[in-house]
Amino acid sequence: MPKRTFHRLDDDKKERIMRAAIEEFQAHGFEKAKIETIAQNAGVAKGSIYQYFDDKRELFLYAVTWGLEYFMKIIDRQTPLKDMDVYDYFLSSGRDRFELIKNEPLLVAFSTDVASGKYGTLTQEINNELGRVGEEYELRLIANGKKRGTIRDDLDDKVLLLFFQGVTEKFTMKIVEKVKDFKVEPTEEQFLEMEDFMKNMVSLLKQGMGR
């Protein structure tokens, strides 16, 4: 969707522009984000931005997909998408996720906002597609769990999915929030705290809060 000219840029410049864009959109939202500021922070002229993208909307949309693809690459490298048990889903990739949030807090925060629908109709298509893909994978996790007998089979998959999503999203948000407080390098202690947090979440997923 960006123009040919953008693709011909060296990777450094491309990345500088995308990060500047994401930073600006994340800080001020779509409407109040200024192209001028993005250009300045990326070290290019305002006019150049329009050599690369038709308009603000396109720049934004590409920033979203750029961020997603960036994650895809990392996540694919980290956690092979084997069919695993729901309860292992987060635990197994806990350290990786923690690293990702720690190393790319801006990208994670931006993507979280996009996913939560903060950009309204702008990202509707992307969200639909993304939701579909995510759901597909999670539904497979649930189906697997039912087969293995680790998930109760008296409830509809859709209901279980909602439950699973509700819990995991909320906990992920909490972690993102926590990581923001790490002014410097997080300690091993902080990681252990996070791991404990994850274990509690999994325990709640599994056993619920009843007694």
Q: Using CB under 8 A, which of 16, 102, 118, 178 touches a second copy?
A: 118
Alpha-carbon torsion angle 38, 104, 174, 128, nearest 10: 70
77 binds DNA, rule: CB under 7 A: no
Q: Both tokens of residue 33?
A: 């984000």
Number of residues in contact with a second copy under rule CB under 8 A? 42
178 binds a second copy, rule: CB under 8 A: no
Cβ atoms within 10 Å of 86's Cβ, excluding its own: 22
198 binds DNA, rule: CB under 7 A: no
The residue assigned the tokens 């635990």 is 91
128 binds a second copy, rule: CB under 8 A: no
**Binding region for DNA (CB under 7 A) out of 50-58, 90-98, 143-151, 171-179:** 50-58
Q: What's the CA angle centered on 3, arms 121 and 29, to 5 degrees? A: 30
51 binds DNA, rule: CB under 7 A: yes
189 binds a second copy, rule: CB under 8 A: no
1 binds DNA, rule: CB under 7 A: no
- String of DSSP letters for 11-53: HHHHHHHHHHHHHHHHHHHHHH--HHHHHHHHTS-HHHHHHH-
77 binds a second copy, rule: CB under 8 A: no
- Helix, strand, or coil (residue 174): helix
Which residues of this chain interact with DNA, rule CB under 7 A? 4-5, 8-9, 13, 32-36, 44-48, 50-52, 55-57
